[in-house]
Amino acid sequence: MRSINLKAPDAEILFWPELIAPQDGESFYQQLLSGIQWRQDQITLFGKTFDVPRLQAWYGDQGMTYRYSGLELTPEPWTPVLRALKARVEQACHGSFNTVLLNLYRDGNDSNGWHSDDEAELGEHPVIASLSLGQERRFRLKHKQGKSKGIQPLSLDLPSGSLLVMSGPTQRCWQHCIPKTSRDVLPRINLTFRNVIDEPEYLRKNNNLVDS
């Protein structure tokens, strides 16, 4: 299936509107809703502790610890459903991923604030492959220097079964978010497949490069 190139400055963003057919999407959605170990994580900002405004889960290869906003996430092992989805995503975007962060937005009050996925363990040019299941979700992007450079923000509605892949300079130059909505919305699931650099492996490779 062919992708659409969203052509924005300082970004590489590809979009597959229907990577997964609606019937399969509904089945995957139900399996994840009931089968994933959804967690209510908390973050501490300026000395105050808050519930993250959504439920989350972290699955992947063993040993791939991921740190963000003071949280340290140790992955649960891949399940058959997650392996099947990972294979579909990898086949579409010719990438490979060793972890997935899942978000469950229970209703319109749940959200994901402005951020970039630019943690060091994702490497210099992170590839973030975001698969959507459940009701359509509004996804917003803004360039970090959008105002001074006159670059317009983007707003996309991500339907169930769609795949959005951000790569190249996107995380360095842009931020993205899922806003709250006053519309009456059903639960929505997002899976962001990522490739976390395995530190010992990374060091070994670098030493090998120096040796050879």
Ligand X SMILES: O=C(O)CCC(=O)C(=O)O
Binding region for Mn ion (CB under 5 A):
117
Could you tell which of Mn ion, ligand X, none binds residue 190, using a CB distance below 5 to 8 A set by kind? ligand X
H/E element, 86:
helix 80-93
Which residues from 135-154 bind ligand X, rule CB under 6 A? 139
Instruction: Verify binding: residue 117, ligand X, rule CB under 6 A.
Output: yes
Nearest-angstrom CA–CA distance, 146 and 152:
6
Which residues from 76-115 bind ligand X, rule CB under 6 A? 101, 103, 112
Cβ at position 109, least distance to ligand X in Å: 14
Nearest-angstrom CA–CA distance, 34 and 56:
13
Please give the size of the binding site for ligand X, defined by CB under 6 A.
Answer: 10
Q: What does the block give as tokens for 107? A: 């209703």
Cβ at position 126, least distance to ligand X in Å: 10
Nearest-angstrom CA–CA distance, 79 and 68:
23
Q: What does the block give as tokens for 60? A: 């992947």
Cβ at position 82, least distance to Mn ion in Å: 18
Cβ pair 196, 126 in contact under 8 A: no
Residue nearest to Mn ion (CB): 117
Instruction: Verify binding: residue 16, ligand X, rule CB under 6 A.
Output: no
Instruction: Verify binding: residue 192, ligand X, rule CB under 6 A.
Output: yes
State the virtual CA torsion across 143, 146, 150, 156 in degrees, nearest 10.
Answer: 40
- Residue 85 has φ and ψ, to the nearest 5°, of -65, -40
Of residues 81, 69, 61, 38, the one with CA closest to residue 196: 61
Residue nearest to ligand X (CB): 190
Who contacts 207 (Cβ-Cβ below 8 Å, separation ≥6)? Answer: none
Instruction: Verify binding: residue 195, ligand X, rule CB under 6 A.
Output: no
Write each residue from 58 to 77 as x if it is in contact with ligand X (CB under 6 A), else as -, in one continuous string: --------------------
State which of residues 190, 193, 195, 196 lies at the interface with ligand X (CB under 6 A). Answer: 190
Binding site for ligand X (CB under 6 A): 101, 103, 112, 117, 130, 139, 176, 178, 190, 192
